[in-house]
Structure 1
Amino acid sequence: MNWSTLTRPEQIQEIIEESKQKPVIIFKHSTSCTISATAKGRLERQWDDANLENVTPYYLDLLSYRPVSNQVATTFGIEHESPQLLLIRDGKCLYDASHLGIRLDEVKKQIA
């Protein structure tokens, strides 16, 4: 799994544009939370077997970039949670899940 990092508010518009060509996920991670670390590790272990090579994964360290995380929540009309995974397609958030409810099989269903 090759994460692209989300560190600047301007990237949100770039992600919206990219999502019009192919699906994008944003994983909001708290580096101080063990549940977040567990969710991130599970995503990384399952990624290759999930056959999501057409999906770009973005990683957002929300402790370092909380204003960016807040902007993501505002832009896509979702409530901030951590950890949280959002699936963005055609400029809209089609799926969001948090904590151990984050499941790549659900992402696959949304993009099938």
Structure 2
Amino acid sequence: MQKIDSIQEFDKLVDSGETFFFLKHSTTCPISGAGYDEFAKFDQNGTDQLYYLTVQDSRELSNYIAEKFHVKHESPQAILFVNSDVAWHASHFKITSKSLAAAKEENVK
């Protein structure tokens, strides 16, 4: 997993057209902590592009993603980007390693 802090880094990633998962999470919320743990658990295979931001550190980027892609901000929130657009997203307890795997299976050919 790689932390992204700036709009420029994020835009470069989106513009690459790569398929990747992105997680927004809060360091002060236990539900967000659980989402982060599930995201990290999903990362164990090491074959997926996984990025995240911490809402407290990157509020501007978090808001930018919500506005640009019309995905209402929630925390925690996992988003799958395919072909430079949102293909799937989930929040709170819907973020599990199984739901991430299913999203990849359904949206990545």
Matched, 1:56 2:49: yes
Aligned equivalents of 1:107, 1:47: Cα separation in 2: 14
Which residue, out of 94, 104, 109, partners 1:101? Answer: 94
RMSD over aligned Cα atoms:
1.5
Matched, 1:111 2:108: yes
1:52-92 Cα shifts (integer Å, max 9, x gaps)? 61x31111001111011000111111100000000011110
Q: How many residues align?
A: 105
Gaps of 5+ in 1: none
Aligned equivalents of 1:72, 1:46: Cα separation in 2: 22
TM-score scaled to structure 1, two decimals?
Answer: 0.85
Aligned equivalents of 2:65, 2:5: Cα separation in 1: 11
SS at match of 2:13: helix
Gaps of 5+ in 2: none
Q: Quote how far apart the aligned CAs of 1:25 are.
A: 1.0
